[in-house]
Amino acid sequence: MPNRVFTRRDFSRSLGQTLALSFAAPRWRASLAEKTWEPPAGAPVRLNYNESPYGPSPLALQALSVSGPTAARYPEEAHGQMVATLANFHHVRPENILLGCGSTEILRAADMAFLQAGQNIVAAEPTFEAVLEYAGVAHAKAVKIPLTADQRHDLPRMAAACTSKTGIVYVCNPNNPTGTIVPRAEMEEFVSRVSPATLILVDEAYFHFVEDPSYSSVASWFFQYPNVLAVRTFSKIYGLAGMRLGYGIGAKETIAALSTQSLDDNVNAAVIPSALVALADTAYAVSCRDRLNSSRRWLADQLTKGGWRFIPSQANFLMIDAGTDVKPLLAQLEARGIIVGRRFASLNNFLRVTIGTQDETEAFFAVFKEVVPRPASKAA
């Protein structure tokens, strides 16, 4: 259960079980050979939700396949094991971890716990909108700060916008939909300027794809800044989007406040064994990152050669300037079997495409060239 108190014995047992899974991994890998998840034959190329085209680790799939007997029981023990394992992974205590049904449940719980009617949440525009939608349910106002000219968070303006009525300031890093990052130095300056009474909610869903050395996670910053909460997910690099598992990392008091807004037994019994193994199978996660980042660089090179502008990204998606409102283009792409991200009102000329496999990425670009004319300077 989310509010369970974990003992040192619980922690040690959980760590031992996780290590056992790690040592078992080579045997599982050998038995599964190179089997990977594949979409149904004839399905459209879906490049719209930033999912992993490579799916979960084969080891995680094996863990899922043997989890059937656990379905008859509430996942209390498994929940505790997952919390303790993540605490060990991040070098924190179990009381600093809260699980969610996807990272979006953590965002919702933060809004419910830290926003009241009449308060506000400060965020970039555009950014991942779920946290702003949940704020509306809490009757809180969204204060949106436009991105900078290079499509990055304008942290000085966001800090200045925070007042005594600001319950949360939200930073998606890397940002969805632009893929841009907030470097560590800028984040440190920002955090130092925001009132300790305001929760600094940092969404790190795309953390694993970042290669820029100036970037840093804030997962351990709560030791110095108790109002910082980091949010992670198993939906992206770990390929478990359909299984729904995310978590928050923060100060004991913050996690306790969030837990009052989360559902009991909010994490299903099947995803936990898969997530435990996915966390241990670092080789597979690194392989997915390298393949996806390589395909993103390939696409960026093709766009550059063709004269199309795009926003440099540190995530598994790319925002391309189509030079016109993308709404009709989305329909044209879909008619040709390519589904990409929706239209963003504040960047309505930009088309967000998720990076797929290399074959999927090449298929997208082949259709993209047919639908989106080359800029005049290159067309000549």
Confidence of residue 303 (pLDDT cuts 50, 70, 90): very high
For the entire predicted model, the pTM comes to 0.88
Write down the residue that tokens 């299984």 correspond to: 243
pLDDT of 242 reads: 94
* Structural domain includes residue 318: yes
Q: Which among 255, 280, 305 is the end of a domain? A: 280
Instruction: Name the β-bridge partners of 84.
Output: none
Q: What mean pLDDT comes out for the span 35-47? A: 68
| Number of independent structural domains in the chain | 2
pLDDT of 40 reads: 57
257 and 290 both lie in a single domain: no
Confidence of residue 70 (pLDDT cuts 50, 70, 90): confident
Q: What rounded mean pLDDT belongs to the chain?
A: 89
Who's near 57: CB < 8 A, 6+ residues apart?
A: 238, 239, 277, 278, 281, 284, 285
Q: Which among 219, 247, 280 is the end of a domain? A: 280
* Structural domain includes residue 171: yes
* Structural domain includes residue 31: no
156-182 pLDDT, tens digit each: 999 999 999 999 999 999 999 999 999
Asked if pLDDT for residue 18 goes beyond 50, the answer is no
69 and 196 both lie in a single domain: yes
* Structural domain includes residue 49: no
**Are 137 and 93 spatial neighbours (Cβ–Cβ below 8 Å)?**
no
pLDDT of 377 reads: 67
Confidence of residue 38 (pLDDT cuts 50, 70, 90): low
234-274 pLDDT, tens digit each: 999 999 999 999 999 999 999 999 999 998 889 998 899 99
311 and 249 both lie in a single domain: no
165 and 262 both lie in a single domain: yes
**In CATH, what number is assigned to the domain containing residue 372?**
3.90.1150.10
Asked if pLDDT for residue 96 goes beyond 60, the answer is yes
**Are 205 and 231 spatial neighbours (Cβ–Cβ below 8 Å)?**
yes
* Structural domain includes residue 44: no
Confidence of residue 65 (pLDDT cuts 50, 70, 90): confident
197-242 pLDDT, tens digit each: 999 999 999 999 999 999 999 999 999 999 999 999 999 999 999 9
Query: Rounded distance, CA 83 to CA 85, Å?
Result: 5
Query: Rounded distance, CA 64 to CA 319, Å?
Result: 34
Q: Which among 236, 261, 280 is the end of a domain? A: 280
**Are 169 and 198 spatial neighbours (Cβ–Cβ below 8 Å)?**
yes
Length of the chain: 380
* Structural domain includes residue 349: yes
Q: Which run of H or E residues covers position 182?
A: none
**In CATH, what number is assigned to the domain containing residue 140?**
3.40.640.10
Confidence of residue 32 (pLDDT cuts 50, 70, 90): very low
76 and 209 both lie in a single domain: yes
Query: Rounded distance, CA 221 to CA 228, Å?
Result: 7
Per-residue tokens: 349: 């000329």
259 and 296 both lie in a single domain: no
pLDDT of 264 reads: 87
272 and 298 both lie in a single domain: no
* Structural domain includes residue 211: yes
Confidence of residue 75 (pLDDT cuts 50, 70, 90): confident
223 and 81 both lie in a single domain: yes
123 and 194 both lie in a single domain: yes
* Structural domain includes residue 28: no
Who's near 88: CB < 8 A, 6+ residues apart?
A: 11, 14, 15, 18
190 and 317 both lie in a single domain: no
- Domain boundaries, position 188: 65-280
239 and 288 both lie in a single domain: no
238 and 171 both lie in a single domain: yes
pLDDT of 41 reads: 64
